[in-house]
Amino acid sequence: MKKKSSLIIIILFCLILLNLPEKYTEKIRHSGIKFLRAPLAFFTNLSFFFLHPVDYRSIVQENRLLNEENIKLRLENSQLNYFRQENQQLRSILGLKQQLPFSTLTAEVIGFDYSENRRILFVTSGGREGMRKDMVCLNHQGLVGKVIEVGDNFSKVMCINDPNSRVPGKIEDTQEGGLVYGPLKGKYLRMKFLPQESKTHPGARVFTSGWGSIYPKGIIIGIIREIVNEGFYKTALIKPAVDFSKLETVICIK
């Protein structure tokens, strides 16, 4: 009796489905396929594993090897890009050395001492190579800083963005001069005590002025990003020309 009742229910359900509008049957069909897709995929993979265990293992092994090869290729590509950039930097450094009217010493950057109150580089050349205190350091982008301590085979360089740095500078467009200070806070250098009537503007370049006995004239320090009115005077905020986060090689002027 139960079997007959179940059969009648199934027949009635089929008749209802056959008489439903096409748009409803299409939705039911899609829902059914969506519902059965995951279990069907599982049983298909499971049956493939049991029927073709060797093929399945070989596919897994091949996939692992392909992933390893992909990682190796990505690493090689990354290294090639790095060496290409390094080669470009070295070419720029070599070109700069040939242009400078000074005796120069090339040094590799081997470490940093970066904190809120310090911006120090450690470079490879020392007293044995002819490095001396107060030698000026730069790269193809512009002024880096000056040597403050010399060891036998290494030296310390205080960068121009160190809070203790002071560099005599001159603004290109107005020829106004002053000291360029390392920032206590933020990333911009500061040229203070510009006159209120100063006509300089953001975008103007700032170079070393040659005043004093350390920094030679004409090395780019940076570009003015903002002029701040301090009441009795103006202050120029200067973005350094050098990207200190990417320093690898410096030239020190003898």
Confirm whether 140 is domain-assigned.
Answer: yes
Q: Cα separation of 90 and 84, whole Å?
A: 10
Quick one: pLDDT at residue 39?
62
Is the same domain home to 177 and 145?
Answer: no
Q: Cα separation of 196 and 227, whole Å?
A: 11
Is the same domain home to 130 and 180?
Answer: no
CB 163 within 8 A of CB 203: no
Q: How many CB atoms lie within 10 A of CB 184?
A: 9
CATH of the domain at 228: 2.40.10.350
Kindly list the averaged pLDDT for each block of 10 residues, start to end, along the chain of length 254: 55 54 56 57 58 62 73 66 62 62 83 89 93 92 95 95 95 93 91 92 94 89 95 94 90 84
Q: Cα separation of 121 and 108, whole Å?
A: 10
Quick one: pLDDT at residue 163?
95
Quick one: pLDDT at residue 64?
73
Confirm whether 3 is domain-assigned.
Answer: no
Q: Cα separation of 34 and 199, whole Å?
A: 71
Tokens at 248, concatenated: 């690898």
List of E strands, 104-184: 104-114, 119-123, 136-138, 143-150, 155-159, 166-171, 177-181
Confirm whether 248 is domain-assigned.
Answer: no
> Residue 137: which of 104, 169, 185, 163 has the closest Cα?
104
CATH of the domain at 125: 2.40.10.340
Confirm whether 136 is domain-assigned.
Answer: yes
Quick one: pLDDT at residue 7?
56
CB 213 within 8 A of CB 222: no
pTM confidence score: 0.64
Confirm whether 82 is domain-assigned.
Answer: no
Tell me the residue range of the domain where 152 lies. 103-159
Report how many domains make up the chain: 2
Is the same domain home to 138 and 109?
Answer: yes
Is residue 236 exposed (0-12), middle (13-18) or buried (19+ Cβ within 10 Å)?
buried
Quick one: pLDDT at residue 203?
96
Is the same domain home to 188 and 205?
Answer: yes
Q: Cα separation of 5 and 209, whole Å?
A: 104
Quick one: pLDDT at residue 18?
53
Angular region, 169: left φ>0, alpha ψ -120 to 50, beta rest? beta
Q: How many CB atoms lie within 10 A of CB 94?
A: 13
